[in-house]
Amino acid sequence: MNGYEYIRNAYAFYMPRTPSAAARAVEKGLLPVEAFIYAANNISPLAEEPINYDELERVLAREDLDLNTTLLLLDILEKLINHKDPEIALFAAESINTIENRYNKKIEEHKELLQQIEDQEATRELAKLYYEIALINSKRQTIKEFYLREAFTYFRELDKSEKLSLEEMTILVRIFIDFGFYSRALRYIHNANPERNDTDLLLLEAEVEFASGNIYRTFELFVELRQFRDKLDEESLKKLNFWIGR
């Protein structure tokens, strides 16, 4: 479960009232680490009815928002666009534009940097920014696909010159999944993990197979992962136990 999923499904979990209580729950393994981040940043009022507009504006004013919080904001703002109060609907539309403009500004800044010098960090940041703005536009398929193609271009360029991090490889594979290029995604993973001993890449391979509808192969991969049980983190163990039992 990622942070965004935790926030969206928070009602299904024990919800600590304070950051210190959340920290204790995380230490005891009762909640994912996102629970502490969620409580510490005090964004819970955003997801609750009635909407706390002061809190919404406070969070929106921060320009250093992480992706998970940004996605939560957008989920709320998308609903408010259809609000019966025209002022609230306008506020929601303008807020969405503000978030997208922040991303576009960052993209332009890194593009200018890349034009001045061959900078790998600028390439890496552009790839990530384009992927994130694609997720932000998940309800606008044509725009989402445009940004995914841009992200793919920069990730592939980066991949030619240096080894991608696990996070970057994961994003690249998920772009393949988004476009339905399952065979291409699997070839990429197999080339990166020829010894079939990287648990993260085996889990990513299972994600591809599951997305393609190949349930039997997904099960086989979790059987294969069983030999690495002692190397898996808590979330990966939950997935393993779900597929093949304890």
What's the pTM? 0.74
- In the chain, the amino acid numbered 55 is E
* Residue of 119, 151, 125 whose CA lies nearest to 137: 151
Q: What is the pLDDT of residue 5?
A: 45
Query: Which segments of 51-192 does DSSP mark as H helices, in order?
Result: 53-60, 67-80, 86-116, 120-136, 141-161, 166-178, 182-192
CA distance linking residue 78 with residue 34, whole number of Å: 23
CA distance linking residue 232 with residue 134, whole number of Å: 30
Q: What is the pLDDT of residue 56?
A: 83
Q: What is the pLDDT of residue 47?
A: 54
CA angle 171, 220, 232 (to 5 degrees): 60
CA distance linking residue 234 with residue 184, whole number of Å: 29
Q: What is the pLDDT of residue 108?
A: 93
* CB contact at 8 A, 2 and 34: yes
Give how far the C-alpha of residue 25 lies from the chain's centroid of Cα atoms, to the nearest Å.
23
DSSP 25: H
* Residue of 70, 125, 142, 61 whose CA lies nearest to 100: 70
Under-70 pLDDT residues of the chain: 1-50, 246
- Classify 213 in phi/psi space as left (phi over 0), alpha (psi -120 to 50) or beta: left
Q: What is the pLDDT of residue 65?
A: 84
Residues 115-170: tens digit of each pLDDT: 777 778 889 999 999 999 999 998 899 999 999 999 999 999 888 888 899 999 99
- Classify 180 in phi/psi space as left (phi over 0), alpha (psi -120 to 50) or beta: left
DSSP string, 2-23: -HHHHHHTGGGS---SSHHHHH
Q: What is the pLDDT of residue 21?
A: 55
| Cβ neighbours of residue 141 closer than 8 Å, sequence gap 6 or more | none
